Amino acid sequence: MAGPWITLRRLAIALPLVFAVHVAEEGPGFVAWFNAHVEPDITARTFWGVNATAFVITLIVAVLVAAARERALVLVASVWVGFLMLANAVFHVVAAIVDGAYAPGVVTAVLLYLPMSGLWITAAAREVALPVAAVAAVAVLGGIPMYLHGYKIVFEGSRFF
């Protein structure tokens, strides 16, 4: 019997594409949105530099997981997915709710990041024989820095970096 269609390998290969689509939505308006909320301002160069670094890390995670799915590697990758996608999606959704308006990146956060996070957690648990709750906990805990940073942005008008 063939395995499920949604495999960790396929999800890993999709990670950089999902990230790139999110940044493409976010890019045109995020710096202005951010600067309207936070002091001190960021520059477009800062925005693109942070995202280029995150893209490289995402590529590395994708290649490693696509090549070998050892439990420890999958859990580390789940930390990254929790930080980059799950927590970032929560940030965008909360920001849009608090603003009562579009927050650049919220559409792909809801349509891509949240589903990818759920699919990742489920596939990771299945493929490394761990409870879904354990992998979900790893992903949620991995997002703590982003949750804190997002809180500072949305509710305090400040930032960590």
Please give, one letter per residue, the 3-state secondary structure of 93-129.
HHHHHHHCCCCCCHHHHHHHHHHHHHHHHHHHHHHCC
CA 44/CA 46 separation, integer angstroms: 5
Question: What tokens were used for 75?
Answer: 């859990």
* Domain boundaries, given as residue ranges, for the chain: 8-156
Question: Exposed, middle or buried by CB within 10 Å (0-12, 13-18, 19+), for 145?
Answer: exposed
Whether this prediction's pTM lies above 0.85 is answered by yes
Residues 44-85 have pLDDT tens digits of 999 999 999 999 999 999 999 999 889 999 999 999 999 999
pLDDT per residue as tens, the chain (161 positions): 445 889 999 999 999 999 999 999 999 999 999 999 998 999 999 999 999 999 999 999 999 999 988 999 999 999 999 999 999 999 999 999 999 999 999 999 999 999 999 999 999 999 999 999 999 999 999 999 999 999 999 999 998 87
